[in-house]
Amino acid sequence: MSAARPGRLAWPFGLCLGLLLGCGADASTLSASDVWSRPTVAAGAEPDLSLPGVVYLSLRNGGDTHERLTGAHSTVCARVELHRTRRVDGRSRMQAVPEGALVPAGGQLELAPGGLHLMLIGLRRGLRPGDSLPLTLAFASGATLELAATVRPP
């Protein structure tokens, strides 16, 4: 995707500090960036809460053991599912990924348009550009990662 991101140069310092001070050993090896979502409602319009939301992000595993992203939840919706879009002969097929997705030791996992994504089901409010929505990722190891996804302009 080519959407521009605002510079967030101030972020890493405070967040790294928080990570050093406040984290258990598991979570400190996992980090996320480019955590973003899409709007579900036009400016000035009433939200249609039957529509799903989506979250994309880039996960990094700085540890020396594999991690598996197994689930997520957010207070903005009833539930979050990991889905994957597969393309076959110009056709797109959406599949739930209940087994989760591997974040290899020392490696990355990309959740990006046209591939893996988190689907937000049963939204409690419309998502508008600039909104921030809380998200907790859960891993098979028991680690969790608390994030904030920014709703990007359409």
Where on the chain is the footprint of another protein (CB under 8 A)? 1-3, 5, 7-9, 11-12, 15-16, 18-19, 21-24, 27, 30-35, 38-42, 45, 48, 50-54, 56, 58, 79, 81, 83, 85-87, 89-94, 96, 101, 109-117, 119-121, 144-148, 154
CB of 27 to another protein, least distance (A): 5
CB of 64 to another protein, least distance (A): 18
- Which residue's CB is nearer to another protein, number 54 or number 140? 54
Largest interatomic CA distance in the chain:
49
CB of 71 to another protein, least distance (A): 13
From CA 150, how far away is CA 133, in angstroms rounded? Answer: 7
- Which residue's CB is nearer to another protein, number 15 or number 105? 15
CB of 104 to another protein, least distance (A): 10
- Which residue's CB is nearer to another protein, number 45 or number 105? 45
Position of tokens 């197994």?
70
CA 131 and chain centroid, separation? 14
Buried b (16+ CB within 10 A) or exposed e, 67-104: bbbbbbbbebbeebebbeeeeeeeeeeeeeeeeebebe
- Which residue's CB is nearer to another protein, number 48 or number 65? 48
> Taking a C-beta distance cutoff of 8 angstroms, is the pair 108, 33 a contact?
no
CB of 127 to another protein, least distance (A): 10
- Which residue's CB is nearer to another protein, number 23 or number 64? 23
